[in-house]
Copies of this chain bind each other. A is one copy, B any other.
Amino acid sequence: MNPSHIELRHLRLLQAVSEAGGLTAAAERLHLTQSAVSHQLKALEDALGLALVERAARPLGLTAAGRRLLALAHSALPQVDAALRDLAKLRDGDAGELRIAVECHTCYDWLMPAMDRYRDVWPGVELDLLGGFQADPIGLLLDKRADLVITSDTAPRPGIVYAPLFGFEMLALLPPDHPLASRKWLLPADFAGHTLITYPVPEDRLDLIRRVLAPAGIKPPRREAQLTVAILQLVASRRGLAALPAWTVAPYIERGYVAARPVGRHGLWAELHVAVRAADAARAYVADFIDTVKRDSFARLPGIRPLVAGTMETNAPAR
């Protein structure tokens, strides 16, 4: 391969490697195997006659050449995306309506900023966020009272298609000085004898209970709180334990307000998906919304990982 045969694929590869901090993680994001990423990176380095990544360090670092090429990626790839968006507008028009229903309380954390970014590039799309807890958000889609739903439930329904967003880790929260904080991770039995502090939703919507405690036959008393800060406050003041997505609790952990531990050896991983009516899935402004959310999330949320399309994960690590 000749250096002048460099392609956008290579820039996307380098960007993924840099953001993910490793070839294996990059491969997952790109929906390739680790082998493909390794081969392709090597081919690129051979073509340029320069090493691009420092393989010794962890997380993987870039060489000076790698950083120069990454700078190209950072400047060129957004231009390409913008052009493709303009072409999509040329094809499908640039107006539309997107009424969004959200199933999970903590999703607003990343959804609002993502919506702000989306508004910048699709000013013609009317964005609405449906408030309140929805018992059956997919029903809203079918009734045409919503256009897009963010959910963890991907049970097939006629006329509905799902697109995976990301997998995220639910972390168990406990007071920083709690005896269990010395443990590397918590086991179901550790929850016995503690109050579980949750949002006010049915038990079968709580992954910790449905997938960890109930199978182990453990039924701790529950206490409900509406707001995330309230839950954190209750945990910090030793009223009980809780489990929240990693991205929600990261800032509090950093400040030492609460401690967080994985649930089980590999952690408790859940997923988020987007559901839309099949008829809407091809619309450019819909597809780009999903894209924007995904890109934005991976750029900013800690403790999330890519999903292989169509895989419902349980407790095991991806793959």
Chain A interface (Cβ within 8 Å of chain B)? Answer: 3-4, 6-9, 48-50, 64-65, 68-69, 71-72, 75-76, 79-80, 83-84, 86-88, 90-91
Contact = CB atoms under 8 A, between A and B. Distances in A.
Contact of A50 (B48, B75, B91): B91
Contacts of A64: 90
A105 to B, nearest CB: 32
Contacts of A90: 50, 64-65, 68
Instruction: Pick the 8 closest A-B CB pairs, nearest first.
Output: A72-B83, A7-B7, A76-B76, A7-B8, A68-B86, A49-B91, A65-B90, A50-B91
A104 to B, nearest CB: 28
A6 B72 contact: no
Contacts of A65: 87, 90-91
B4 A7 contact: no
Nearest to A72: B83
A3 B76 contact: no
Contacts of A50: 87, 90-91
Contacts of A69: 83, 87
Given A50-B90, A69-B87, 18 more contacts: A3-B84, A3-B87, A4-B84, A8-B8, A48-B87, A49-B91, A50-B87, A64-B90, A65-B90, A65-B91, A68-B83, A68-B86, A69-B83, A72-B79, A72-B80, A72-B83, A76-B76, A76-B79
Q: How many copies does the complex hold?
A: 2
A72 B88 CA distance: 14
Most buried by B among A49, A50, A65, A87: A87
A13 to B, nearest CB: 12
Nearest to A84: B3
Contact of A8 (B6, B48, B71, B86): B6
Contacts of A7: 7-9
Contact of A91 (B6, B48, B83, B91): B48
A53 to B, nearest CB: 14
Contacts of A75: 79
Nearest to A76: B76
23 contacts: A3-B84, A3-B88, A4-B84, A6-B84, A7-B8, A7-B9, A8-B8, A48-B87, A48-B91, A50-B87, A50-B90, A50-B91, A65-B90, A65-B91, A68-B83, A68-B86, A68-B90, A69-B87, A71-B83, A72-B79, A72-B83, A76-B76, A76-B80
Contacts of A79: 72, 75-76
A68 to B, nearest CB: 5
A6 to B, nearest CB: 7
A175 B3 CA distance: 49
A7 B49 CA distance: 22
A52 to B, nearest CB: 9
Contacts of A76: 76, 79-80
Contacts of A91: 48-50, 65
